[in-house]
């Protein structure tokens, strides 16, 4: 199958040795990984293409975003803005009932920090697999979308993206981060695993409700998160660190 929105193939691969194929500039910018490197995640194979611009699927994607803009409540707007820049300690605290602090959970916080650091370059790489995708607000201004979105009136995203880096909308890095951190926190706090997973799905939905992403951007995030977590859990040092952090977390309550 050919995708009109797919750029020239990048050298993402499973082999660490094949990282030498990446451009030298990219290698120089990539930080040393703790558990998972970009080349451990086969983004090219696992990340599906987003709907091509102007396709029926893209227009349906766009229509869903605008429908949510029309239906959202002030409480949802506030929730979307809160989650946009919510520190991990507070994000986890919503589930635990208290912040995930280094004083109470030193091993867990150290592990989470390493996982988050590993995820950043993977998210950047995922954004580069396909051609740049415009955010919903920019897509709304396209002529082919005019008739579709006219019934919804002006598009007013509740999330202010004006100061955000000009990254591709696909996939949603924030949603990927939420899904990954929820899964790792679920490894550390097994009794709260389902609650963390539900919170991640809620956080991902807020990216669409807030107007920052399309629903298909979150679909891509699930693919990236799943691939990253699979690579992470194959890594023996992660499993050992996770086991130690889980034991300490259970002991400290």
pLDDT tens-digit profile, the chain (253 residues) = 334 444 434 444 433 344 544 444 444 455 567 999 999 999 989 999 999 987 889 888 988 988 888 889 999 999 999 999 899 999 999 999 999 999 999 999 999 999 999 999 999 999 999 999 988 888 777 766 666 666 666 666 677 666 566 789 999 999 999 999 999 999 999 999 999 999 999 999 999 999 899 999 999 999 999 999 999 999 999 999 999 999 999 898 7
Within a domain: 36: yes
Helix then strand then coil, in percent of the chain rounded to 5, is 65, 0, 35
**Domain extent at residue 209:** 17-252
Within a domain: 3: no
* CATH code assigned at 52: 1.20.144.10
Within a domain: 1: no
Among candidate residues 31, 20, 10, 37, the one with its CA nearest the CA of residue 231: 37
Dist. CA 179–CA 23, nearest whole Å? 29
SS3 assignment, position 111: helix
SS3 assignment, position 121: helix
Within a domain: 2: no
Within a domain: 231: yes
CB distance 175 to 213 below 8 Å: yes
pTM of the model: 0.86
pLDDT digits (tens, 9 = 90+) for 58-85: 888 988 988 888 889 999 999 999 999 8
Residue 82's Cβ-count burial label (10 Å; 0-12, 13-18, 19+) is middle
CA-based end-to-end distance of the chain: 51
Within a domain: 4: no
User: How many structural domains comprise the chain?
Assistant: 1
Can you state the angle between helices 215-234 and 56-71, rounded to 10 degrees? 100
Cα angle 223-204-195, degrees, rounded to a multiple of 5: 95
Within a domain: 6: no
pLDDT digits (tens, 9 = 90+) for 111-156: 999 999 999 999 999 999 999 998 888 877 776 666 666 666 666 6
Q: Enter the DSSP assignment of 133.
A: -
Within a domain: 189: yes
């Amino acid at each position: 199958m050919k995708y009109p929105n797919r750029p020239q193939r990048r050298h993402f691969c499973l082999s660490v040795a094949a990282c030498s194929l990446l451009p030298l500039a990219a290698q120089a910018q990539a930080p040393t990984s703790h558990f998972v490197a970009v080349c451990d995640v086969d983004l090219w194979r696992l990340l599906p293409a987003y709907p091509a611009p102007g396709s029926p699927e893209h227009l349906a994607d766009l229509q869903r975003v605008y429908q949510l803009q029309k239906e959202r409540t002030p409480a949802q707007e506030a929730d979307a803005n809160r989650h946009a820049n919510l520190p991990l300690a507070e994000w986890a605290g919503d589930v635990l009932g208290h912040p995930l602090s280094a004083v109470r959970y030193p091993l867990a916080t150290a592990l989470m920090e390493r996982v988050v650091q590993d995820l950043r370059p993977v998210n950047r790489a995922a954004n580069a697999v396909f051609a740049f995708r415009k955010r919903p607000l920019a897509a709304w201004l396209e002529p082919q979308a005019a008739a579709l979105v006219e019934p919804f009136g002006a598009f007013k995203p509740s999330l202010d993206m004006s100061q955000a880096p000009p990254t591709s909308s696909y996939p949603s890095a924030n949603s990927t981060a939420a899904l990954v951190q929820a899964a790792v926190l679920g490894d550390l706090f097994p009794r709260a695993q389902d609650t963390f997973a539900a919170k991640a799905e809620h956080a991902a939905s807020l990216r669409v409700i807030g107007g920052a992403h399309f629903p298909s951007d979150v679909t891509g995030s699930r693919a990236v998160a799943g691939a990253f977590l699979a690579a992470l859990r194959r890594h023996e040092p992660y499993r050992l660190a996770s086991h130690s952090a889980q034991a300490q977390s259970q002991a400290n309550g």
